[in-house]
Amino acid sequence: MRYFIELSYNGKNFHGWQYQPNAVSVQETIENSLVILLKKKIKILGAGRTDTGVHAKQMFAHFDFKESFDTQNLSFKLNSFLGKDIRIINILKVKSDSHARFDAKSREYQYVITQKKDVYNFDTKYFFSKKLDFDEIDKAIKIIKKTKNFKSFCRTKTDVTNYNCKIFDFEYTMYNSDIVFTIRANRFLRNMVRSIIGTILDVGLLKTSIKDFSDIIKKTNRIYAGPSAPAHALFLTKIEYPETIFIND
């Protein structure tokens, strides 16, 4: 039987989602707890990979286990084992060929900027007090929505061969002194969101013109884009799947 784990985590104390040989990852932490509780070696596969320090309000991973168990009881026990940084939201039965990564229809990220020093949420917001030109930012977002090839915003030295992504939505909202960028797409490349945000902030500062921004995309080379925005303000917020993959008892 295949199961999906729905979870959230604070990424501050983890070196990303994926297993690291000499560092603590979210994947390894959950696998170690599952081994103790299910008394068998368990391998989980996530819907994607978040980098060091990035958070997730909603993440999914799948694993296989032949014996039946009470999913609610396992969720409760996992939450007791995992400590304060990881929360198991749900464990769901899915069809045997379902895949946490490949069956995802869309993924959504949010990047949170505060323009007022916030001593309570400093670990989850990027303090950026410089004045931004939002008319220019609006123009840059319109360009991103029409873009297909995101090689200019992808981390170099990866094994990626396909740089095309379909952007479903990209917008920002303002709450008092906070600016929350939300971007939803069918897939994301390594470091893509942070690179886009960092470059758009340069546009908002008028350091990068809209023409230059368009040229950066056309050059399909990461060296021309702006610096990556810090990881601690990035959240994976939502992953969508077809309802047909879930099994309802």
* pLDDT by residue, tens only, the chain of 249 residues: 999 999 999 999 999 999 888 899 999 999 999 999 999 999 999 999 899 999 999 999 999 999 889 999 999 999 999 989 999 999 999 999 999 999 999 999 999 999 998 888 888 999 999 999 999 999 999 999 999 999 999 988 777 889 999 999 999 999 999 999 999 999 999 999 999 999 999 999 999 999 999 999 999 999 999 999 999 999 999 999 999 999 986
Residue type, 126: Y
Bridge partners of 180? 112, 173
- Tokens for 214, please give them: 């368009």
Q: Which of 56, 26, 54 is nearest to 239 (CA)?
A: 56
- CATH architecture of the domain covering 2-102: 2-Layer Sandwich (3.30)
Q: What's the rounded Cα separation, in Å, for the pair 228 and 191?
A: 8
Residue type, 30: I
Shared fold status for 2-102 and 106-237: yes
Q: Where are the domains of the chain?
A: 2-102, 106-237
SS (H, E, C) the chain: CEEEEEEEECHHHCCCCCCECCECCHHHHHHHHHHHHHCCCCCCEECCCCCCCCEEEEEEEEEECCCCCCHHHHHHHHHHHHCCCEEEEEEEEECCCCCCCCCCCEEEEEEEEECCCCCCCCCCCEECCCCCCHHHHHHHHHHHHHCCECHHHCCCCCCCCCCECCEEEEEEEEECCEEEEEEEECCCCCCHHHHHHHHHHHHHCCCCCHHHHHHHHHHCCHHHCCCCCCHHHEEEEEEECCHHHECCC
Q: What's the rounded Cα separation, in Å, for the pair 69 and 40?
A: 13
Q: Which of 198, 65, 206, 183 is nearest to 126 (CA)?
A: 198
123 among known catalytic residues: no
pTM of the model: 0.95
Catalytic residue among 51, 133, 138, 169: 51
Q: Which of 27, 9, 10 is nearest to 18 (CA)?
A: 27
Q: What's the rounded Cα separation, in Å, for the pair 243 and 86?
A: 25
* pLDDT tens column, 62-83: 999 998 899 999 999 999 999 8
* pLDDT tens column, 9-55: 999 999 999 988 889 999 999 999 999 999 999 999 999 989 999 99
- CATH architecture of the domain covering 106-237: 2-Layer Sandwich (3.30)
